[in-house]
Amino acid sequence: MTDAPLLDVQGLRVAYTTRAGEVPVLTGLDLSLRAGEALGLVGESGCGKSTVALSIMRYLGRAGRITAGRILFEGRDLVSLDEGALRALRGRRIAMVYQDPMASLNPVMTVGRQLMEVPMVHERVDAAAARARALAMLREVRLADPEAVMDRYPHQLSGGQQQRIVIAMALIAEPALLIMDEPTTGLDVTVEAAVLDLVRDLRRRHDSAILFISHNLGTVARVCDRVGVMYRGELVEEGSVRQIFTDPRHPYTRGLLDCLPTSGRDKRHAPLIPIAGQVEPASARTPGCGFASRCPHVETGRCTTRAIALATVEDDAGHRVACVRVDELAQASRRRATLAVRDAQAPTAPVIAVRDLHKSYERRRARLAARKDVVRALVDVELTAARRRTLAVVGESGCGKSTLAKILTGIEVATGGSVTLDGIEVAALPVDARDRTLKRKLQMVFQNPDSTLNPSHTVGYAIGRALRRLRERAPADVPSGVARLLEVVKLGPEMAARRPRQLSGGEKQRVAIARALAGDPDVIVADEPVSALDVSVQAAVINLLNEIQAERGTTLLFISHDLAVVRYLADHVAVMYLGTVAEFGAVERVFAPPYHPYTEALLSAVPVLDPDAAASRIVLEAPLPRGDEVPRGCPFATRCPRRVGTVCDDVPPPVQQLDGGHRIARHIPAKELAARQVPL
């Protein structure tokens, strides 16, 4: 069995039964995995990557069905196994780690019991032995105080801790195959980095093979040896991490990589190139290449008449591509976009000026608890947004970036301090008290367009309503106004009659942007507008925001946790930590030494595509302090890798003013920091 692969998926076809009939999701997938190897599966939502995982686990639900193919695992075909044999494999030889660890853990069972269950069921060991195993495993996933963690319920742990529990639960039986389905999606970037480092580390100690599924190419590069790129239920390219990321051959892989705001790219130098068109539904499958309708190199006939199999690239062992034109499309043919539009006007007066802004909430510790905590969501926040520019606000969840947006829009009012919008004080002005002109000046775009668009209204009605409300349009003018706004966001006029459920995620977000533009606002506050979108769609929306800004002179306040996007899009950046601004300045200054230690940690946590990336990263092991545990001194003191001493705990750090309006709040002098830090 030395040469036989651990997992060998051959011609796997899976279909889901829907009301419209049977829809094929996987159409003849081949992949194999040797013992101890880590294979990444990447692709956009709907490409079938999770279906691969669930097929291997034989957990497709009642709607899913394996229609053809074999899944050989340790020489046995999983497709034909009965329930009893599957049970013996699941959790013991094949284990799985899921997205959203909170939902994956039983909320009414202590994590210790959930861990102990695995050896108790599979190996029939007694409770004491299972407990010892669980404790050892918790230590291995680097959870502090494992004894105490054993007795906790999932909700008492942070997201990162929960995912470590799920990983411990998967590895406790020493499985031969570990399937990880988007294990870091939804985690903060610093937590993600720590979890990925843990997985890398565990790989070395356990010889489990890993099937790592992710939409984030950077995370795959950090963990895997090989990568498979999926598109519409097929593997279109497969190879080593280096082959895929430095010499992609399939037009789709190239398209994906060109959409990524990888480090070093920004809107001034190398604009993102979105993939044209959108994924066609699985039910509308035609013979030939699935990517043909969006491919810039398509050749009718050769590409569209028959199915295209994976073939090994010449002189490149292990690199397989499903493209008939692979030899003709040399590497040099990758597209390079021309310079993006750039408004060269000199900086103007700030549109938004925030000074000494405070916001605190009172919160019960639990539903039945007597004591109330005062949670300080914003402390002494000071920043400005220049007209016609993009100010990005970044930070981990809970840093106060969304609270800031809520105060700007008037959904919340500040507890203290001042916020001016075009010179008008709005900090204490709730949205109901704002007049039409003020409301018009500032509009918002939210993260999840699904929950912000009313499903029963047509697109035309939603945008038209904003036009009538904010612009006092006569009813006859509205349809033309709607069509014009749809054109601005690059949607056809026929979209006006559609309802949100008939739109894709990217289209919905465009509609949300069009609605925000209805009032011709001076400022658009966009709270994580691209976080829920696939990378190719994300690139298109980012480009759209850029163009709108250049054409209309809109100021954009861009709230994001994604530093790559921020570096690409922003002119100015405010890095927030626990309600305070740790660092503020022009993007090229903030993203270069001297950094605030927190900025440094955030930047080094971003998973990069470069397979050679140095492993010397800063990993924040300590969790984010809770609202009532914020240190007296520097808020970052509990996690800071560059602590200088007790001064950090006791004294709030002074704000140091550097060149060009760049300011950093910390104890270490800028020169000293610059000397110690390397550009990231």
Partner 1 sequence: MARFVAKHLLFLLLTLLVVSFLVFTLNEFSPGAVARKVLGAYATQEQVDLLTTQMGLDRPLLVRYVDYVRAVLSGDLGQSARFKAPVRDVIARHLANTAFLAAIAFACIVPLSMILGVMAGMREGSRLDRVILILSTVVASIPEFALGVFLASVFVVWLGWLPGTATLVAGGGWSVAAQLVLPVAVIVLFDAGYVVSMIRASMVEVMQRPYIRTAVLKGLSFRRVILKHALRNAMLTPITVIMLQINYLVAGVVVVETVFAYPGFGRMMLEATLFKDIALVEAGALVAVFLAVVTNILGDLAYVLLDPRIRA
Please give the residue ranges that form the binding site for partner 1 (CB under 8 A): 57, 59, 62, 86-92, 95-96, 98, 100, 103-109, 117-118, 121-122, 153, 155, 166, 169, 365-370
Work out how close the CB of 120 gets to partner 1 at its nearest, in angstroms, rounded to a whole number. Answer: 10
The one-letter code for the residue type at 213 is I
CB of 137 to partner 1, least distance (A): 14
* Residue with Cβ nearer partner 1 (94 or 419): 94
What is the C-alpha separation between 452 and 649, in angstroms, rounded?
A: 42
Contacts 24+ apart (CB under 8 A), 274-279: 274/536, 274/537, 274/539, 274/540, 274/543, 275/536, 275/539, 278/504, 278/506, 278/537, 279/44, 279/46, 279/47, 279/232
Report CA torsion sign: 630, 634, 637, 641.
positive
Alpha helices by DSSP H, listed for 337-458, are 401-409, 436-441, 449-452
Give the nearer residue to partner 1 in terms of CB position, either 100 or 520. 100
CB of 177 to partner 1, least distance (A): 12
CB of 66 to partner 1, least distance (A): 17
Burial 301-328 (b: 16+ CB within 10 A, else e): eebeeeebebeebeeeeebbbbbbbbee
Nearer to partner 1, 98 or 446 (CB): 98
Alpha-carbon distances, residue 454 vs 261, 315, 449, 457 (angstroms) = 31, 54, 9, 6
CB of 118 to partner 1, least distance (A): 6
Strand partners, 209: 177
Side-chain half-sphere CA neighbours of 329 within 13 A: 22
Cα 291-510-575 angle, rounded to 5 deg: 100
Q: Which is nearer to partner 1, 184 or 190 (CB)?
A: 184
Of 107 and 455, nearer to partner 1 (C-beta) is 107
Smallest gap from Cβ 508 to partner 1, in A, equals 25
Whichever of 116 and 310 has its CB closer to partner 1, that residue is 116
- Nearer to partner 1 by C-beta: 102 or 670? 102
- Residue 401 contacts residue 559 (beta carbons within 8 Å): yes
d(CA 263, CA 270): 11
Q: Output the smallest distance, CB 567 to partner 1, in A.
A: 34
511/599 Cα distance (integer angstroms): 33
Instruction: Closer to partner 1 by CB, 17 or 345: give it.
Output: 17
Which CB sits closer to partner 1, 371 or 671? 371
Q: At what angle do helices 159-171 and 189-205 cross, to 10 degrees?
A: 20
CB of 129: closest distance to partner 1 in angstroms? 17
Q: Minimum distance from CB of 25 to partner 1 (Å)?
A: 18
Q: Work out the angle between the directed axes of helices 159-171 and 127-140 (0-180°, nearest 10).
A: 120
Determine the Cα–Cα distance for residues 623 and 638; give it in Å rounded to an integer.
9
How far, in Å, CA of 185 to CA of 335, rounded? 29
Between residues 123 and 621, which has the closer beta carbon with respect to partner 1?
123
Closest CB 74 distance from partner 1, rounded Å: 15
Q: Phi first, then psi: what are they for 365, rounded to 5°?
A: -65, -40
Whole-number Å distance between alpha carbons of 15 and 315: 36
Tokens representing 129 are: 């032995």
Q: Where are the beta strands (DSSP E) in 159-202?
A: 177-181
- By C-beta, is 59 or 612 nearer to partner 1? 59
Report the distance separating Cα 437 and Cα 444, nearest Å. Answer: 15
Least separation in angstroms between residue 27's CB and partner 1 is 25
Q: How far apart are CA 334 and CA 531, in angstroms?
A: 26
Residue 462: phi, psi to the nearest 5?
Answer: -60, -45
DSSP string, 487-544: HHTT--GGGGG--GGGS-HHHHHHHHHHHHHTT--SEEEEESTTTTS-HHHHHHHHHH
Of residues 162 and 599, the one with the C-beta less far from partner 1: 162
Nearer to partner 1, 175 or 529 (CB): 175
Contact 348, 386 (CB under 8 A): yes
Closest approach of partner 1 to the CB of residue 523, in Å: 39
Rounded least distance, CB 420 to partner 1, Å: 42
